[in-house]
Structure 1
Amino acid sequence: MRRLPSLFLSHGSPMMALEPSPARDFLAGLGTRLPRPRAILVVSAHHDAAQEGGRATVTASPRPPTIHDFGGFPDALFAMRYPAPGDPALARRIAERLTAHGLAVTVDAERGLDHGAWVPLSLLYPDADIPVVQLSIASHAPPEWHYALGQALAPLRDDGVLIVGSGSITHNLRAYFSARPPIDAPAAPWVTAFTDWIADRMAANAVDDLLHAVERAPHGRDNHPTPDHILPLFVAMGAGAQADGLHARRLHDSVTYAVLAMDAYAFGAEQ
């Protein structure tokens, strides 16, 4: 089986499931450009171990429900379901791998798929016929912990598992709600400065800079007042890293609502 890349996808607003945008069009075509995975592992910014006892949590429901973990959106969004099967055996394998690498992990047989998982997957794989497992971030843990998490998971790529970090390359909701710009508003300069820096550091294979982007990049804290939406990037980087570098490829860049950049990256030698 061909080795899959690991991916980082910016999932933006839940309304991406319904509203036209360049990012939506990109995700709707991405699934056909990838080798079909046997299963998908999503590390979502909306599944945070810091809120669940402090341990990494992997989902093991055979039929994970669709979680509508948001409010104030149209009824059509709440009516959406993503009935992909789970994969309890894969969840146990993930837990065993992480435990063997000294990373504490809990298996949750009840939790479903939050919108960081099902919104982008509903565009990539609309038939919902590929098993999906979720793994939490831990917002109280440093970037290096998340990178190591990805490294521990990397061998799954050789077994047909698509590893997806789902967050946002920029995520300042206060800036959005203070102005409420339209979806196609031009990017704020402080957003572009940050994403351009990320792209440059990716091209330079500057892993340490990237792990500390919030501190080192222009407007890092403006774009990430909290770390949750950038942490899945570090997991994807770790999962795709090779001995000779990240082999990062910027698959997409656009901006919605002036402040939510929708960049997507692939990592790994074979893409």
Structure 2
Amino acid sequence: MPVFPTLFLSHGAPDFSLHASPARDFLQTFGEKLGKPQAILILSSHYDMAQPSFSADEKPGMLYDFEGYPEEVSKIDYPAPGLPQLATIAATLVEQSGLPTQEIIGRGFDQGAWGPLSLLYPGADIPVVEAAIQSEEGAGHHFVLGRCLAPLRQHGVLIIGSGHLNAPNEVLESSDPAAPPQTPDWVTEFGEWVREKAELGDFDTLVDYKAFAPHSARNHPEPDHFMPFPFALGAAGEGAKGRRVHHSVQQGTLLMDVYLFE
């Protein structure tokens, strides 16, 4: 049974899958390159609970927790099955570390899950369990959470952290599609700092990104979209290092980077 690397991806806006972009084009071909796992466990920055939580529905529904997007976005369906047994095993692994956990019924996939998965594995024939971040906890907590779940990789489970490499409040628009806005230094420097630390496997510095990363507060005014990054690093196991496999920018400031950890 193949052991998959773990994955961090920037999932884009709710209508991400409907519009051509370098990031969308990359994800549409990347699932085939990765291969087909037995199951997927995806931690979404749009699923926020006070304690580690795992969806345990046999047939998850869809959650459209946003406004201001075209009606066609709310018609996107990703009918992948759930896998309650995997949710229970994941909860047990986390509980063994001393963290309280829970299994959740009836929430449905949010766009942090169905958005990228509909591109990676459009057949929707792989069982999916969605996991929650804890935004009141830090990056170190999410690294530990991922490390707890690392044994799942030995059983053909693809572990994904779905967030954004940065999530600034500022975006740049251009009236000329042929001349996109130039990415400012405060975005580039943050992205390159993350790449450098990931390639070194320097998790100590990455989990303390607020103190060490350049322009960390400007790139992440809130921590939720970065938490899947240390989670994916932790889930790759002892001594893991990261490799940036896609880099692009949308609206001048939004990094759409994708990382593999192994």
Q: TM-score, normalised by structure 1?
A: 0.92
Q: What is aligned with 2:12?
A: 12
Q: What is aligned with 1:61?
A: 57
2:132 equivalent to 1:136: yes
Identical counterparts, % of pairs: 42
1:249 positional shift: 1.2
Any conservation in 2 of the 1:46–1:116 contact (CA below 8 Å)?
A: yes
Q: What is aligned with 1:175?
A: 170
**What is the SS of the residue equivalent to 1:107?**
strand
Alignment of 1:184-223 (within 5 A): 184-223=180-219
2:248 equivalent to 1:254: yes
Q: What is aligned with 2:112?
A: 116
Structure 2 unaligned blocks of 5 or more: none
User: Which amino acid in structure 2 is aligned with residue 102 of structure 1?
Assistant: G
User: Which amino acid in structure 2 is aligned with residue 252 of structure 1?
Assistant: H
**What is the SS of the residue equivalent to 1:116?**
helix
**What is the SS of the residue equivalent to 1:175?**
coil
RMSD: 1.3
Any conservation in 1 of the 2:53–2:132 contact (CA below 8 Å)?
A: yes
2:46 equivalent to 1:29: no
1:83 positional shift: 0.7
Any conservation in 1 of the 2:210–2:217 contact (CA below 8 Å)?
A: yes
Alignment of 1:226-241 (within 5 A): 226-241=222-237
1:4 positional shift: 0.7
Distance 1:15 1:187, change over 3 A: farther
Any conservation in 2 of the 1:185–1:256 contact (CA below 8 Å)?
A: no
Q: What is aligned with 1:2?
A: 2
2:35 equivalent to 1:38: no
Alignment of 1:159-170 (within 5 A): 159-170=155-166
Any conservation in 2 of the 1:45–1:137 contact (CA below 8 Å)?
A: yes
Structure-1 separation of matches of 2:184 and 2:16: 20
**What is the SS of the residue equivalent to 1:65?**
coil
Structure-1 separation of matches of 2:174 and 2:155: 43
Question: How many positions carry a matched residue from both structures?
Answer: 259
2:236 equivalent to 1:266: no
1:13 positional shift: 1.4
User: Which amino acid in structure 2 is aligned with residue 256 of structure 1?
Assistant: Q
1:185 positional shift: 3.3
Distance 1:181 1:150, change over 3 A: farther
2:66 equivalent to 1:83: no
1:215 positional shift: 2.3
**What is the SS of the residue equivalent to 2:182?**
coil
Any conservation in 2 of the 1:215–1:221 contact (CA below 8 Å)?
A: no
Any conservation in 2 of the 1:151–1:239 contact (CA below 8 Å)?
A: yes
Any conservation in 2 of the 1:9–1:164 contact (CA below 8 Å)?
A: yes
Match of 1:225 among 195, 202, 221: 221
1:214 positional shift: 2.5
**What is the SS of the residue equivalent to 2:41?**
strand
Structure-2 separation of matches of 1:23 and 1:214: 26
Structure-2 separation of matches of 1:146 and 1:135: 11
Deviation digits for residues 219-266 of structure 1, max 9, x if unmatched? 111000000000000110000133xx2231111111111111011111
Structure-1 separation of matches of 2:9 and 2:15: 15
**What is the SS of the residue equivalent to 2:170?**
helix
Q: TM-score, normalised by structure 2?
A: 0.95
Structure 1 unaligned blocks of 5 or more: none
